[in-house]
Amino acid sequence: MENISIKTIFLSLLVLSGIWFMIVLIKQLRKRLAINNIETESSIGLGLTGFVGNFMDTLGIGSFAIMTSSFKNFKLVEDKKIPGTLNAGVAIVCIAQAFIFIKAVPVDTTTLMSMIFSALAGALIGARIVSKMKKKTIQLTMTIALAIMGLTLILGKMEVFPVGGNAMGLEGWKLVVACIANFLFGALNTVGVGLFAPCMVTVYLLGLNPAATFPIMMGSTALLVPFAGIKFLKEDVVSMKGTILMNICGTIGVFVAAYLVKSLDLNLLQYLIIFVVAYTTWLMGKSYLISSKEIVSGE
């Protein structure tokens, strides 16, 4: 009963964070509308990106690589606004994911809450730094971050990492290590590398049951993304059109994946994500090199 009560309080906090996010979003939207400063990129492209990306995300595969690739390939979001749009564009989506998995999987409450708030602390620090970065710096950071994520996925498919244990919670030094790691992942999450893959690898190595990773991952992003999204919104470094459409369509994708799709070939989808991550890393790296040449030419 105690655990249920604590989780209920946490879910209530998620609702409040969602309301806060919506208030800031509406406020910033009104400012943009007042000066007629709304993006003109494809509404269909942004909506589909949100739906597909978060459909995959709910399966535990991750969405940032897919969405970043879509932003780049179809020119939906400026490079400088990609980190902010990745976070603000899935704030409400992540809250929906957390509700589903926290209620469905009986993970230890101490482990769950400790890792979630560690990720939140990392996101708050990371978002503050990233929102002030130059375009060239963001491109380089995201290239490195995506490369790390891709390598992590490849090593996982090669079974370099152990499958893990059956524990539904962590204690002692293992919990401390997990919290420190999730702090770092929370910060990385704000620069475009998803929290899911590195978080999953960490808890596997520490012996946690694979099923227990889902509420931890979803809960971490559910709190950190709205807070990071709010900071990006206030800094006005997001695609407003993308933020709105991706939250709407992404939430639909979450419910479709969670309740209707139970037998998809996750193995095939994971290989697809590896390809997308590799391609996006190359694309973002190419953008960084082009920006560097432009700066040199300008000088």
Give pLDDT tens digits for 46-76.
999 999 999 988 877 778 878 988 999 999 9
What is the structure's pLDDT at 167? 87
Residue type, 254: V
Higher pLDDT, 289 or 60: 289
Q: How confident is the model at residue 270 (pLDDT cuts 50, 70, 90)?
A: low
269 pLDDT above the threshold of 70: no
Cβ neighbours of residue 290 closer than 8 Å, sequence gap 6 or more:
none
φ, ψ at 167 (rounded to 5°): -65, 145
Inter-residue contact 189 to 228 (CB < 8 Å): yes
* This prediction's pTM: 0.73
Query: Which of 6, 13, 3 lies closest to 224 in space, CA to CA?
Result: 13
3-class state of residue 3 by DSSP:
helix
Find the helix or strand (DSSP H, E) in which 12 lies.
helix 2-34
Q: How confident is the model at residue 202 (pLDDT cuts 50, 70, 90)?
A: confident
246 pLDDT above the threshold of 80: yes
215 pLDDT above the threshold of 80: yes
Q: Measuring CA to CA, how many Å separate 44 from each of 85, 227, 244, 249, 262? A: 16, 27, 12, 10, 26
Q: How confident is the model at residue 1 (pLDDT cuts 50, 70, 90)?
A: very low
Average pLDDT over residues 270-281: 71
What is the structure's pLDDT at 234? 95
Q: How far is the C-alpha of 68 from the C-alpha of 114, rounded, in Å?
A: 29
The residues spanned by each domain of the chain are 2-29+40-289
138 pLDDT above the threshold of 90: no
Give pLDDT tens digits for 14-51.
999 999 999 999 999 999 999 988 898 899 999 999 99
Inter-residue contact 287 to 72 (CB < 8 Å): yes
261 pLDDT above the threshold of 60: no
Q: How far is the C-alpha of 222 from the C-alpha of 90, rounded, in Å?
A: 9
